[in-house]
C-alpha cells in the first residue's frame, strides 16, 4: 500500500540539503510513495522549479523560526504564524500524511501544536550550536520518532546537544554510480581545480585563493573553476582578493549549475577547504562519484569521505600552506592524481550508494508507520 509522505523543505535557497532531499524523493516516488511538500513561503523559486519538473506538488507556507540573534526575522515569523498555521492545517487535513519528513528541525519547532501527534522523522544535515539548540531539541525529542544524521560527526554533535541517542540513525548520503569520465585529458598541461557549492565564508574560498598564491610562486599550470552562488559581499571580496594576489587570470566564475556530469567533466582535482564542521559535504562525495581526487579539511564529515593519501588528502582547516603543499604534490604528479581519482571512484561506488541510503531510509519509514 502506498505511503503518504509530507516533506518539509524550509531552506531559503537550494543548497546541499535540498539537493540530497530531491534525490531521495526521486527514488521514493519511483517506489510508489505519494509525496507532497511544504516549502519556504518567503521564496525559493529554484526549489519550486525543481519540484515542478518532478511533478511533486508543493505548498508555499511562511513557517519561519524564532531567532534570538535575528529579531526582525522572528517578528516576521510571529506576524505570519496564524496564516501559516491555517495553511498547514489545511494541508494536513487534505493530504493525510502517514509520515512527516523534515530536512531540518525548525518547522517541527515552529508548528509544534499541529505536528506533535504526527509520525515525525527529522533528517539532520547541519550541526547544532549553542544553548538555544539544546532547548529546541528538548522540545522536539518526545515527538520525534527518528533522527537521521548524515554523518558520525553529526550524530556526536546531536548527542552533545541533547538529542536522544537511541533515536539517532547514521545514514550517509548516497549517489548513483556513474562511469569514470574517461581518461584524464590535460589541456596544455593545465590542471583544472574546482571548488563547488555555496559561496560562504565558512567554505574556505579565501583559504584556497591564498594557497594558490603560494602554488603560483612555484607553478602556474593550473586554473581554478568556481561553481556556485551565495554571499554577494563575500564574492566581491574574493574577486578583489584574487586581483591582489595576481590570480585573476587563473580563475573562472561559473555560478550555479545543475548538470553535475558537465561540471566534473571540466575538472581534474576537487578542493573542499571548509573552515567549520561541514556535516558531510556533497561535493566530496560527488568528486569520487566522477572519479576525481579530493583535498578536504579535517573537520566535520570530510574524513568520513576522503581517505587520506588514498582518494585524496586530508589537511588542517584554515591552513593555506598545508593546502598549497598538497595541490603542488598533485600538480607535479599526474599519475598520482589519476590513481587517487580511480580510488575515489571505487570508494564512493562501494560505500556511498544511493540505493543503500534509500533502503535504510525506507526501513525507518516502515518501522515508524507500523
pLDDT over threshold 90, residue 247? yes
User: What is the grid cell recorded at 295?
Assistant: 583535498
- For the chain, the first-to-last Cα distance in angstroms comes to 13
pLDDT digits (tens, 9 = 90+) for 76-122: 999 999 999 999 999 999 999 999 999 999 999 999 999 999 999 99
Instruction: Report pLDDT for 44.
Output: 67
CATH superfamily of 4-174+353-369: Glycogen Phosphorylase B; (3.40.50.2000)
What distance in Å separates the CA atoms of residue 365 and residue 180, rounded to the nearest whole number?
33
Q: 318-339, pLDDT tens digit by residue?
A: 999 999 999 999 999 999 999 9
Burial 148-187 (b: 16+ CB within 10 A, else e): bbbbebbbebbeebebeeeebebbbbbbeebebbeebeee
User: Where does the chain hold its CATH 3.40.50.2000 domain(s)?
Assistant: 4-174+353-369, 191-351
Per-residue model confidence as pLDDT tens digits over 249-279:
999 999 989 899 999 999 999 999 999 888 9
- Kindly report the CATH class assigned to 191-351: alpha beta
| Residue 362 predicted with pLDDT over 90 | yes
pLDDT at residue 13 tops 80: no
Amino acid at each position: 500500500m502506498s505511503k503518504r509522505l509530507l516533506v518539509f523543505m524550509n531552506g531559503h535557497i537550494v543548497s546541499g540539503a535540498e539537493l540530497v532531499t530531491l534525490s531521495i524523493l526521486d527514488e521514493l516516488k519511483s517506489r510508489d510513495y505519494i509525496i507532497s511538500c511544504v516549502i519556504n513561503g518567503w521564496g525559493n523559486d529554484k526549489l519550486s522549479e525543481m519540484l515542478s519538473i518532478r511533478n511533486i506538488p508543493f505548498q508555499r507556507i511562511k513557517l519561519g523560526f524564532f531567532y534570538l540573534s535575528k529579531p526582525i526575522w522572528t517578528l516576521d515569523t510571529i506576524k505570519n504564524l496564524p496564516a501559516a498555521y491555517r495553511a498547514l492545517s489545511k494541508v494536513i487535513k487534505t493530504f493525510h500524511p502517514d509520515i512527516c519528513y523534515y530536512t531540518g528541525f525548525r518547522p517541527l519547532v515552529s508548528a509544534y501544536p499541529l505536528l506533535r501527534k504526527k509520525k515525525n522523522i527529522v533528517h539532520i544535515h547541519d550541526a547544532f550550536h549553542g544553548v538555544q539548540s539544546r532547548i529546541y531539541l528538548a522540545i522536539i525529542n518526545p515527538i520525534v520518532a527518528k533522527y537521521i544524521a548524515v554523518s558520525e560527526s553529526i550524530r556526536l554533535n546531536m548527542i552533545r546537544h541533547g538529542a536522544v541517542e537511541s533515536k539517532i540513525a547514521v545514514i550517509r548520503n548516497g549517489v548513483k554510480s556513474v562511469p569514470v569520465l574517461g581518461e584524464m585529458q590535460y589541456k596544455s598541461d593545465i590542471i583544472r581545480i574546482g571548488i563547488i557549492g555555496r559561496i560562504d565564508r565558512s567554505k574556505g574560498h579565501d583559504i584556497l585563493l591564498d594557497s594558490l598564491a603560494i602554488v603560483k610562486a612555484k607553478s602556474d599550470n593550473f586554473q581554478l573553476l568556481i561553481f556556485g552562488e551565495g554571499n554577494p559581499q563575500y564574492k566581491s571580496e574574493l574577486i578583489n582578493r584574487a586581483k591582489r594576489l595576481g590570480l585573476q587570470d587563473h580563475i573562472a566564475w561559473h555560478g550555479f549549475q545543475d548538470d553535475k556530469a558537465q561540471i566534473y567533466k571540466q575538472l581534474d582535482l576537487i578542493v573542499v577547504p571548509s573552515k567549520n564542521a561541514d556535516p558531510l559535504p556533497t561535493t566530496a562525495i560527488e568528486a569520487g562519484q566522477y572519479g576525481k581526487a579530493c583535498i578536504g579539511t579535517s573537520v566535520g564529515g570530510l574524513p568520513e569521505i576522503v581517505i587520506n593519501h588514498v582518494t585524496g588528502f586530508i589537511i588542517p582547516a584554515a591552513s593555506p600552506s598545508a593546502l598549497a603543499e598538497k595541490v603542488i604534490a598533485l600538480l607535479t604528479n599526474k599519475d598520482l592524481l589519476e590513481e587517487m581519482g580511480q580510488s575515489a571512484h571505487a570508494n564512493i561506488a562501494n560505500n556511498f550508494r544511493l540505493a543503500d541510503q534509500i533502503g535504510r531510509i525506507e526501513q525507518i519509514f516502515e518501522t515508524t508507520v507500523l
